Every structure is written in C-alpha cells, then in structure tokens.
Structure 1
C-alpha cells in the first residue's frame, strides 16, 4: 500500500511542479515535462514489484514505439498562437491526432 501511495505522490508532485514552473518559465516546465521521469519510475516500479525482465523489456519496447506516436498531440498546440486558434480547439485536435497515430499502431500491430 505504501508503494502505491508513493507512486501517486510522485506523479502528483511532478504534475504540480510542471504546472507551477510553466507559469513563469515555460521552457523549464517543458524541460521537466519532457524528461522521461514517468518511464523511469514505471520501469523501476515494475521491476521492484514483479522482478520480471521480460515484462519490463516489453514495456520499454512499447514505450519506445509509443513516445513518437504521441508527439502529434503537441503540433496543434504549438501552432495555436501563431494561427489564432483557441486552446480547446487545438487541444482537441492534438488529442485526435495522437489518438489516430496510436490507434493505428494498436490496430495494425495486433
């Protein structure tokens, strides 16, 4: 139970830190957000919990594929201010783009 609470606490602290840092220093918030902190923690916690290298390796392989497939999420948001789009439209467009790329991989890799 303590391990679960620790994982939740780390996730919450990371999200709050990125949110607070991005208010005054967006570049540093992006740096913290882009660190593979979640992957590092997930791989470490997975190993600690199960001691199954095959499972950890598969998690790493799938993450290696899915990280670039999730990048289209950021394209509409990065272009939003330049083209005068509102946040919600750009955010929704990014989610749709990422869902298409990830969904395509899931559909064709099964």
Structure 2
C-alpha cells in the first residue's frame, strides 16, 4: 500500500509543480507540460511493477498513436478561448472534440489492423 501511495504522491507533486511553475512562466510551464511526463511515469511504474520490457514497449507504441488525436485539445481550446467562449465551456467542447478524435483514431487503426 505504501508503494501505491508513493507513486500517487510523486505523480501528484509533479503535476502541481508544473501548475505552480506555469503561474510564473507560461513558457517554462509549457515546456515541462509538453514533456511526456505522464507517459514516462506510467512506463517507469509499469517496468518497476512487471520488469517486462515488452509491456513497456506496447504501452509506448499505443501512446504514440494516441498522442496524435490528443493534439486536438491544444488546437481547439485556444481557438475557442480566442473567440470569447467561456473557459469551462471551451474546455468541455475541446475535451469532446478530443474524445471524438480518439474514437476516430482507434477506428482507423483497427481498420488497418493496428491493435492498441
């Protein structure tokens, strides 16, 4: 149980740290947020838990394909905010667009025989 609490604490501290740094410098916050920190942590925890490089490789491959549709959020949200849409509504719409893009990507990959 202590191990899981440690994993959660490390992950949470890093996310909060990035948010706090972003208050002072949006550029440095963006650099830190753009690093695939969550993916790196997930791969690290997976390897520590299983010692299985194959599972880490499968996770990394799946993350690669799913990063592409996730970019929709970072396109839609600034455009909506620039148009004066309320932040929370813009965020909700951006998340919905991103979810649709995920679904499309998974459907297209499945059609071509790529299983995630």
Normalised-by-shorter TM-score class: 0.7 to 0.9
Normalised by the length of structure 2, the TM-score is 0.83
Misfit runs of 4+, over 4 Å? none
- Tell me by how many angstroms 1:15 deviates: 1.8
Would the aligned equivalents of 2:11 and 2:41 in 1 still touch at CA under 8 Å? no
Instruction: Determine the C-alpha separation between the residues in 2 that align with 1:85 and 1:99.
Output: 19
CA-to-aligned-CA distance 1:24-60 (integer Å, 9 cap, x gap): 2112111111111211111111111112222111101
Instruction: Determine the C-alpha separation between the residues in 2 that align with 1:48 and 1:82.
Output: 43
CA-to-aligned-CA distance 1:5-30 (integer Å, 9 cap, x gap): 12101121122112212222112111
Normalised by the length of structure 1, the TM-score is 0.87
Instruction: Determine the C-alpha separation between the residues in 2 that align with 1:18 and 1:64.
Output: 22
Instruction: Determine the C-alpha separation between the residues in 1 that align with 2:48 and 2:19.
Output: 29
SS in 2 for 1:6: helix
What is the count of residue pairs matched by the alignment? 110
- Tell me by how many angstroms 1:72 deviates: 0.4
Which sections of structure 1, spanning at least 5 residues, go unmatched?
A: none
Which sections of structure 2, spanning at least 5 residues, go unmatched?
A: none
